[in-house]
Amino acid sequence: MGATKVGAIAIGLAGALAASPAYAQSAGGGSDAEIALLKQQLKMLEQKLDKLQKQTNANTATAASANANAKAADAKAARVASANAAIPVKGPVAPSGVVVTLPNNRPTICTADEQNCVAITSRVHWDVGGYDYRPNTAATSPQKLDSGENLRRARIGIVGKFFGDWNYALIYDFGGSSDGFGGAAAGSLPGGGTSGVENAYLSYTGLKPFGGKMAIEAGIMDLLWTMDESTSSNDILFMERASAGIIAQNVAAGDFRSAIGTRWWNDQLWLGGYATGPTTGQIHSASSVTPAGSSEQYGAVVRVAGNPISGKDYSVHIGADAEWLVQPPRNQLTQAQTLTLSDRPELRIDPTTLISTGAIANVSGAQVYGVEAAATYGPFIAQGEYYWFNIDRTANTGLPPFGAPSLKFDGGYAQVGYVLTGENHAYNSSTASYGGIKPHDPFSLAGGGWGAWEIAGRVSQMNLNDQVGQAVGVAGGRQTVYTAALNWYVNNNVRFMLNYLHGDVAKQASATSPVDAGSKFDAVALRTQVAF
């Protein structure tokens, strides 16, 4: 009860006491009983007033205690807030500007808008195999091929893009354990002559003229010249490409080649042209003695190809290729200007070549022209290419032979493949070639999948003989190879390839010697492939 209410009761009692004597007097001196009753009532009121006062005091104490407790709680809260303010508080996590993905198991980091990316890429091709090599006579060279293994490719690097339109790659190949005869001499490379920087280029794809796509690129790259070379080594039907194509590419195109140029494509047409230089690892020095320095070569390549007929389960591809070696490399010590055309017998367990022109002297230039065609129907694929070579020998080096006529060679291949499990080779318009197989049911013991299985066959021929019987002729040999293949695509990243080869090399000892120097061989090889 509040103090105001208590005060009101006290005033009321005082009024009652004041009125009582007056009432008694006006009553003419009323009875003593009435006076006693009034006194009794007054005493009861005093008792109630005393009780109310005690209750008021108790309520006041309780309120004061509650108020003190509230102030103490406020003070504690203030102290806690002050302490928390001194401790760094982790705010809400901001949305990340980086997206990490694994397309085809390739580790890739991109900005959220996917305009800037960097990815790790790698491939390992490890071959094991053996030869049954049979030289025709003692004049045949070599007399033996060595069985064994070859780490054919061991590449790792990065690929990516900046601001959506600038693409780049930097890839090193540690493979080629028996592709070449490396050593301790100056200029030798680890593992042989083909190991080194395989890709180091920059490409701009921001221009899209005539409703298609365009790439302007420069650096060290795999030139998309010929259909077989435009097909990734991860996707080719056989362990090695046909010899005719390899020899053609080695003139002024192929892997590890320095180049600058452009390509344009849409869904049905592909056009490309590049100026080319030497491959990586070449010793182009005016003062080197061991090995002898040489001037840089340069040339050019052009390719026109397309997919004019295509449907859900079928497609047709046609194309044409041209290559020019404008300036062959010149030995700075001897002034010799030479070109060698050669290849291994479509298997690289042993790096020895069976057909070779040797160093053709006084080469002033070379031209290679080719045609290509392919078709698919469901799981079936057929592909073939043919090349014609012309080697000019009019360079003024002061070395013989003088005034020798041009040399002409030719070669090609035809191949077919069939995917037993029903998958097909999809067409890639950006390279004008067919891609690899993506298994519908990747191999899995738990899931019951067995991957994709494919059989393939190829026949190839390369003729490096011309003007045989003349002193200025070349007897490089004619090689014919038949290859059968069984490919198991375990999943999108792992493949096993089994190849059987039968080869026949018709060759004479020299252009002027008819002594048989040919050979025959059979070979079996297995490749283990991992790529992402």
Banded model confidence at residue 335, pLDDT cuts 50, 70, 90:
confident
Q: What is the mean pLDDT of residues 381-387?
A: 98
Give, for 99, the enclosing helix (H) or strand (E): strand 98-101
Q: What does the pLDDT look like over 172-207, one tens digit per residue? A: 999 876 555 444 444 444 444 445 899 999 999 999
Residue 177: the pLDDT is 66
Asked if the peptide bond before residue 401 counts as cis, ω within 30 degrees of 0, the response is: yes
Instruction: State in Å, rounded, how far the first CA of the chain is from the last one.
Output: 88
The arithmetic mean of pLDDT across residues 480-504, rounded, is 98
Q: Which residue has the higher pLDDT, 230 or 284?
A: 230
**Strands 314-327 and 196-204, how do they pair?**
unpaired
Return the closest-CA partner of residue 121 out of 212, 40, 233: 233
pLDDT one-digit tens code per residue, 113-156: 999 999 999 999 999 999 999 999 999 999 999 999 999 999 99
* Among the listed residues 134, 94, 98, 130, the one whose alpha carbon sits nearest the alpha carbon of residue 117: 98
Q: Is 16 a residue whose pLDDT tops 90?
A: no
Beta bridge partners of 494: 530
Average pLDDT over residues 10-22: 43
62, two tokens: 């309780």
pLDDT tens by residue, 154-169: 999 999 999 999 999 9
pLDDT at 18: 43
The answer, yes or no, to whether the previous bond of 291 is cis (omega within 30 of 0) is yes
pLDDT score at 407 = 98
CA–CA dist 115, 104 (Å, integer) = 19
This prediction's pTM: 0.80
- Residue 69 backbone phi and psi in degrees, to 5: -65, -40
Task: Say which residue, 13 or 106, is predicted with more confidence.
Answer: 106
Q: Are 230 and 175 in contact (CB under 8 A)?
A: no
Q: What is the pLDDT of residue 82?
A: 57
Q: List pLDDT tens digits, range 392-407.
A: 999 998 889 998 999 9
CA distance 273 to 158: 25
Q: What is the mean pLDDT of residues 355-372?
A: 97
**What Rg value do the Cα atoms of the chain yield, rounded?**
47
Neighbours of 101 (CB within 10 A): 12
C-alpha angle 133-411-265 in degrees, rounded to nearest 5: 125
**Alpha-carbon torsion (136, 142, 145, 146), positive or negative:** positive
The average pLDDT across 247-255 equals 96
pLDDT at 24: 40
- Please, are residues 212 and 248 in contact by the beta-carbon 8 Å criterion? no
Instruction: Check residue 504 and give its pLDDT.
Output: 98
* Position 348 pLDDT exceeds 80: yes
In the beta sheet, which residues pair with residue 461? 412, 480
Q: Are 99 and 112 in contact (CB under 8 A)?
A: yes
Residue 190 confidence (pLDDT):
44
Mean pLDDT of 455-481: 97
pLDDT in tens, 27-74: 444 467 777 777 777 777 777 777 777 776 766 666 666 666 656 656
| pLDDT score recorded for residue 143 | 97
Structure tokens at 275: 């100026």
